[in-house]
Structure 1
Amino acid sequence: MDREILSGGMTTVVRIGRTVRRPVRAWSEAVQWLLAGLAAAQVRGVPRWHGVDDEGREVLDFLPGEAGGAYGGPETALVSAAKLLRRVHDATAGLPDKTSRPWQLAAVEPVEVVCHGDFAPYNCVFRDGETTGVFDFDTAHPGPRSWDLAYAVYRFAGLSTVAGYEPADQAARARLFLDSYGRTRGERLDVVDALVPRLLALVHFMRTGAANGDPNFARHIEEGHADLYLRDADHITAHRELWDRVVVGHRVPANRP
């Protein structure tokens, strides 16, 4: 069989033929339950779980296609990514006992769906400019749709200061993503409201992990990732009027908390 060590993740992942082998983690049971629910709902573009191999590793489908980068992508990728995330969310909305599972991350209220937790181009695969699949559900956790969408928009719309898009283009791309997902005006406002809290929560998660001895998070902080997220939070705050006008579609009162 073809064998390849896949790069870019927090653990050693090996592709063997049409499968991916990865270590079992404390939250693997919850992810397995989630993937089983998505399979039962016939959601295409997510890996199926096939048990544990002789070396004690999880066995999942290898999703063919090209992996994405940190930010952005063509508009066709944004549209198809938003629709894929909508299918994942819709399939998890009715799953029972979401909050009783041993997720890596705590639930975020109000719980509506199981969030992917890291829905970004680097966790998706693409073919001919279309987003065809999403993998790495390690940070999945119960929460509101807007929480998951905030991070997806940050990554796919390229709201970062290093993504290479002008603010007007960022706003247009964010609106395209949310329209493709099917958000109403009020629901788009919920996502815009969640952008900065979502980045600050990520910084807190990284710092907590580093303080608890996780070398990956310590390395990421040393490389400046946390500082970048804080600068991007400031960037998003500085252009709030633009997001309200273009992404939400109306002007929000200045005294809105």
Structure 2
Amino acid sequence: MSEVPEDLRGGSTEVTKVGGRVLRRRRQGSANVEWLLTVLECRGFRYSPRFLGLSDDDRQVLGFIEGQTGSYPLSEELRSDEVLVSAARALHSLHEATSDLATKVVDGWMLTAVEPYEVVCHGDFAPYNCVFDGSRMVCIIDFDTAHPGSRIRDVAYAIYRFAPLTAPENAVGFGSLAEQARRARLFCDEYGEVDRTQVIEAMCQRLLDLVSYMRSQAAQGDAAFQSHLDDGHDTAYLRDIHYLRTNAAALTRALI
């Protein structure tokens, strides 16, 4: 009996599961991502899916990882400190594994490389791009947004998503400002080696870049990004930036 394809959530990319494989539509930067995943596998990095080659219709073929993805709204289990700590350690491991790769391939990624080139950033390190076994992270998925950049650029966005440092009216957020700050500090404690005085501004800049990218892609006819704009994602990010800058002093004091 032939295996029945199953459509999976894939953000702005078409993703289909067939048996123990995942097929993803290739897009700008896919060749670089395939190179990165191959190198990570050769280095024994345990948090990335295996790149298995290309299908007959030129889609990426990846190994499927069993577990639970962090879909919104997050469950109580995925809001735990254990999940946040596991995520911080996984991101640090990714950055350590790519610290010598950041200058090897600078051009051709979906997102433009951003100096200083310290590591290969995941670019969208968030619960929805991670697979969990209970409260333990077992895999980072969707490397489409990977690009050379600074550690703090990736760390700041990860904290934004995992603390999460969102305005109260943002439906995907949770926790008081004090609780968000505590979780942000815990992420930094587990990750280490990042200038905590710069985290909030790096977070705001990453969100501004995201809004600009979404709008530019929608203007070029990308239906997926246009749907994000129609749903108000860009205005939600702008509200979060206002929230972050309003509370920047308190959050930075908590971080350091």
Q: Tell whether the structures are fold-level matches, with TM greater than 0.5.
A: yes
Q: How far has the Cα of 1:97 moved from its partner?
A: 4.2
Question: What per-residue deviation string (whole Å, max 9, x for no partner) do you get for residues 3-57 of structure 1?
Answer: 3110242122111111101112231110011111211221102101011122221
1:98 match: secondary structure: coil
Question: What per-residue deviation string (whole Å, max 9, x for no partner) do you get for residues 94-129 of structure 1?
Answer: 126434341001111111000000000000011121
More deviation in 228-237 or 62-71? 62-71
Question: What per-residue deviation string (whole Å, max 9, x for no partner) do you get for residues 83-103 of structure 1?
Answer: 101111111101264343410
2:48 maps to 1:24: no
Matched residue pairs, number? 246
Equivalence for 1:62? 64
5 Å-filtered alignment, 1:110-189, equals 110-161=116-167, 162=170, 163-183=173-193, 187-189=195-197
**What is the aligned counterpart of 1:215 among 223, 227, 251?**
223
> Whole-Å Cα distance in 2 between the matches of residues 59 and 196 of structure 1?
35
- Structure 1 stretches of 4+ moved >6 Å: none
Give the aligned residue type for 2:83: A
> Whole-Å Cα distance in 2 between the matches of residues 29 and 112 of structure 1?
21
Equivalence for 1:14? 16
Q: With the length of structure 1 as denominator, give the TM-score of the two structures.
A: 0.91
List gaps (5 residues or longer) in structure 1.
250-257
Equivalence for 2:242? 234
> Whole-Å Cα distance in 2 between the matches of residues 111 and 65 of structure 1?
32
2:7 maps to 1:5: yes
List gaps (5 residues or longer) in structure 2.
none
Give the aligned residue type for 2:116: P
Question: What per-residue deviation string (whole Å, max 9, x for no partner) do you get for residues 175-233 of structure 1?
Answer: 1111111235xx22232330111111110111111111111111111110000000000
> Whole-Å Cα distance in 2 between the matches of residues 202 and 11 of structure 1?
17
Equivalence for 2:112? 106
> Whole-Å Cα distance in 2 between the matches of residues 141 and 45 of structure 1?
17
1:11 match: secondary structure: coil
Equivalence for 1:44? 46
Question: What per-residue deviation string (whole Å, max 9, x for no partner) do you get for residues 120-167 of structure 1?
Answer: 000001112122211000010100000011110000001112202110
Using a 3 Å threshold, how does the CA distance of structure 1 residues 113 and 235 change in structure 2: closer, same or farther? same
1:148 match: secondary structure: helix
Is the Cα contact below 8 Å between 2:102 and 2:119 reproduced in 1?
Answer: no
Is the Cα contact below 8 Å between 1:79 and 1:176 reproduced in 2?
Answer: yes
Equivalence for 2:252? 244
Equivalence for 1:252? none
Is the Cα contact below 8 Å between 2:23 and 2:60 reproduced in 1?
Answer: yes
